[in-house]
Amino acid sequence: MIIINKNKFLLKNSNISYMFRATESGNLEHLHFGAPVDIDDDDALAVRYGTGWGTNNGPEGEEIPMYLPLEWSSLGRGDYRESPLEIDREIPAAFKYSFSRKYDHTVPIECGLPQAHGDAETLEIVMASPSRLSLHLFYTLFDTAVTRRTVICNNTDRDINVEKIMSSMMDILGDYEITTYNGAWIAEMQPYRAPVGMSGVVNESTTGFSSCLHNPGFILSEPGATETDGIVMGFNIIYSGNHYSRVQKTNEGLTRIVQGISPVSFDWILAPGEKFETPEAVMVWSGSGFGGMSDQMHRFVNNNVIPEYWQGRERPVLYNDWEGCMFDFNESKLVSLGKKAAELGCELFVLDDGWFGDRNSDKAGLGDYDVNRKKLPGGLSGLQKKLSAMGLDFGLWFEPEAVNPDSKLYRAHPEWAIQAEDGVTVLGRNELLLDLSRQDVRDYIVENVTRCIDEGKVSYVKWDMNRHSTALGASAHRYILGLYDVLRRIFGPRPEVLLESCSSGGNRFDLGMMCFSPQVWASDNTDAVERCRIQYQLSYLYPLSTIGAHVSAAPHAQTLRNTPLSTRGNISFYGLLGYEFDLADLSPVETDEIKDQIAFYKRYRKVFQFGDFRRLKAPDGISMQVSEGNIAIVGLFHEIVHAAPGYERIYPRGLDMETIYNVFSRRQLLNAAQYGGLLRHILPVKVRPDGALVRTAGRQYRMKDAERECDATGAALMSGMSLNARFMGTGYDPGMRMQGDFSSNIYVITTEES
């Protein structure tokens, strides 16, 4: 609910109370962001902020903004902290509170930026300046989050240069640590945590896109906050372009948080009568630790960001041909992969790069949409029909925003590509970006992509983008608006086509893309152990339903790690399960293991994709839980085993104390060949580690990993459930876990009949 009481404003949902007021001199004073308060809780707020701050020495008795916690600030008003707005110096930009409006819904953004949707209330604060510029601060209150955005209107009779305009600004009291997520290609989501000091921390992208160098989402937590306790706030922005956030503390102990479009190269000319609308900044608050914050972010993304059609809708188990085939395939190879994928239980076959133009490597063909008839003589529809006869839906890869200079499109329209201003062509992955701020470029993309989708009865699109560019300069924001226009025109009329966004892996893991694309390819790094860490870090800000996660080959192409198939599957469950390697290489044992994995995932898919998510205590490794109703599923992932291991336990959470649950581990099949010559200790015959017997055993013989089953109360389980012992060199026992390095197990805790 949003309450307005004279000059005070309170936004309150079941988690967050957000209060501020307009002072007599027209400043917007921040009063509270956090635990529940009421609009009349003046006493409580006096305890929080005290009185007398910033009331002396101002001109004509005004406050000195420098010492006030504010909701907006302007240059030239005695506030030396970061300003959320920079426009032409000669225009006075001292905004004062004018009036407010309340809506019982979201207020549409008119410039084409995507925005959060669903049940909400909105408060509009209108600020006026003597120069006849006006500012409109929109606060939208959802069940879980508050979003903020800013609109500046030019009511003057001259052009205004907007050099910087933030979506939100807020000053809060207290000491905080900031966590940002940084990285590179195949090394996404590396957390960085640091105290917020007086020098501040900037989280910014300047590659033209949201980028994996610095994911737009970040967290503020009070020192000592844990997974379950303490104040933790999550922030993000619904935008896919250059983003900027800065968090900085002052000498007085106020922390200023600004979020918006990066001002680097930003320059927007606002003509008389025009307005500029910023993207929506998102904030959540939790008094119950990182877990509480993630829970709210997950709910917000699932309920208010991803397209309505896909809310709570289960996602298909897919097979993608990229890592198995790269550019080297033809229809018969794809059909035989399809047969195997269908036999395993996959529901969707995705044809990745290489199906069009002269695209036999990444050097040519991008920008063209004519199907390569040498590879696919029956075209897209020919392949689709064959896959459909096997019960598989058809998915297709596109990279519509870029062009290879060696393509028909570039030869016909070199002027459509974005070139650096100095005229020197700089390629990234042999590509240039197309200028999506041009209507003719957008029309070309919309026309061709929709034709292919419709012709091929495509039910899933992987929308890739492998070229970042600073050459976008001041037109970077126009490019992003162009991208949203293209996505809206293609997928708006086709809501049932599942869109998975990708940008060299996780380079565009952002809420702007998620408004169109309910899932995102998390990383080109498909090594299961690395992926576990990437998915785990993503879970802080994004729900599992958004995280594309595939089982790939072992040894792995990027790390050479030989991760057991059971672990490769188990990790992908904590995301959206898919398979991405040459299925022709599968042994009979591996085929059985994958069938088991897919059947298991399908049975619990709703819990994995949309259940409540928790990061659990795990003394050695990573542990994650999903739960819904009377089912909780705990995954435990180890890296390096150590000799003489002690008792190991899992620590589920959120169970009913008195209910008796049945616990069982997912059945896993082990590759007997991995034990080499050790098999001689359990077999009656002598074996050679590299001999035919071991090799045949590896392909044909299934060894079951130790299974665990028990009944126990929720109270007992939550105090730590002991696991079967691990193998420790003291002889073979079928009751032991026998997996070695990079092992994992999944435990189902349920009151359902198994």
Residues that bind ligand GLA (CB under 6 A): 322, 352-353, 362, 397, 464, 466, 502, 504-505, 521, 524
Is residue 464 among the annotated active site residues? yes
CA pseudo-torsion sign 409, 414, 416, 422 = positive
Helical spans, DSSP H, in 345-464: 379-389, 408-412, 439-455
Residue 503: CB minimum distance to ligand GLA, A? 7
- Asked if residue 61 lies in contact with residue 67, where contact means CB atoms within 8 angstroms, the answer is no
Residue 414: CB minimum distance to ligand GLA, A? 23
- Cis omega (within 30 of 0) on the bond before 564? no
Q: 3-state secondary structure string, 185-222?
A: CCCCCEEEEEECCCCCEEEECCCCCCCCCEEEEEEEEC
Q: What is the distance between the alpha carbons of residues 195 and 66, in angstroms, rounded to a whole number?
A: 22
Q: Which is nearer to ligand GLA, 521 or 601 (CB)?
A: 521
Q: Which is nearer to ligand GLA, 307 or 505 (CB)?
A: 505
Q: Which is nearer to ligand GLA, 97 or 398 (CB)?
A: 398
Q: Which of 171, 524, 527, 705 is catalytic?
A: 524
Residue 591: CB minimum distance to ligand GLA, A? 24
- Which amino acid type is present at position 654? G
Is residue 454 among the annotated active site residues? no
Q: Which residue number is nearest to ligand GLA in terms of Cβ? A: 353
Residue 362: CB minimum distance to ligand GLA, A? 6
Give, for 660, the enclosing helix (H) or strand (E). Answer: strand 660-665
Q: What is the distance between the alpha carbons of residues 173 and 170, in angstroms, rounded to a whole number?
A: 10
Q: Which is nearer to ligand GLA, 504 or 597 (CB)?
A: 504
What one-character DSSP code corresponds to residue 690?
T
Which residues lie across from 665 on neighbouring strands? 747
Helical spans, DSSP H, in 249-301: 289-300
Residue 404: CB minimum distance to ligand GLA, A? 11
- Structure-block tokens of residue 474: 């001041």
- Asked if residue 183 lies in contact with residue 138, where contact means CB atoms within 8 angstroms, the answer is no
Q: Which is nearer to ligand GLA, 236 or 466 (CB)?
A: 466
Q: Which is nearer to ligand GLA, 334 or 626 (CB)?
A: 334
- Asked if residue 406 lies in contact with residue 422, where contact means CB atoms within 8 angstroms, the answer is no
Q: Which is nearer to ligand GLA, 280 or 500 (CB)?
A: 500
Label residue 224 exposed, middle or buried (CB < 10 Å: 0-12, 13-18, 19+).
exposed
- Which amino acid type is present at position 318? L
Q: What is the SS3 assignment for 381?
A: helix
Residue 558: CB minimum distance to ligand GLA, A? 12
Pairing of strands 254-261, 721-722: unpaired
Residues 6+ apart with CB under 8 A from 429: 362, 466, 467, 504
Q: 3-state secondary structure string, 38-68?
A: CCCCHHHHHHHHCCCCCCCCCHHHCCCHHHC
Q: 638 φ, ψ to 5°?
A: -105, 160
Q: 340 φ, ψ to 5°?
A: -65, -40
Q: Which of 368, 464, 510, 596 is catalytic?
A: 464
Residue 397: CB minimum distance to ligand GLA, A? 6
Q: 111 φ, ψ to 5°?
A: -85, 0
Q: Which is nearer to ligand GLA, 538 or 636 (CB)?
A: 538
Pairing of strands 2-5, 8-12: antiparallel
Q: How far is CA 506 from CA 91, 510, 535, in A?
A: 41, 9, 11
Residue 164: CB minimum distance to ligand GLA, A? 32
Q: Which is nearer to ligand GLA, 289 or 395 (CB)?
A: 395
Residue 579: CB minimum distance to ligand GLA, A? 14
Give, for 171, the enclosing helix (H) or strand (E). Answer: strand 160-173
Residue 609: CB minimum distance to ligand GLA, A? 21
Q: What is the distance between the alpha carbons of residues 130 and 569, in angstroms, rounded to a whole number?
A: 63
- Structure-block tokens of residue 275: 């307005």
Strands (E), 272-422: 275-277, 281-286, 318-320, 348-351, 393-398, 402-403
Q: What is the distance between the alpha carbons of residues 247 and 79, in angstroms, rounded to a whole number?
A: 16
Q: Euclidean distance between the first and final Cα of the chain, in Å?
A: 44
- Which amino acid type is present at position 192? Y
Q: Which is nearer to ligand GLA, 397 or 491 (CB)?
A: 397
Q: Which is nearer to ligand GLA, 33 or 322 (CB)?
A: 322
- Structure-block tokens of residue 508: 């565009």
Active-site positions read 464, 524
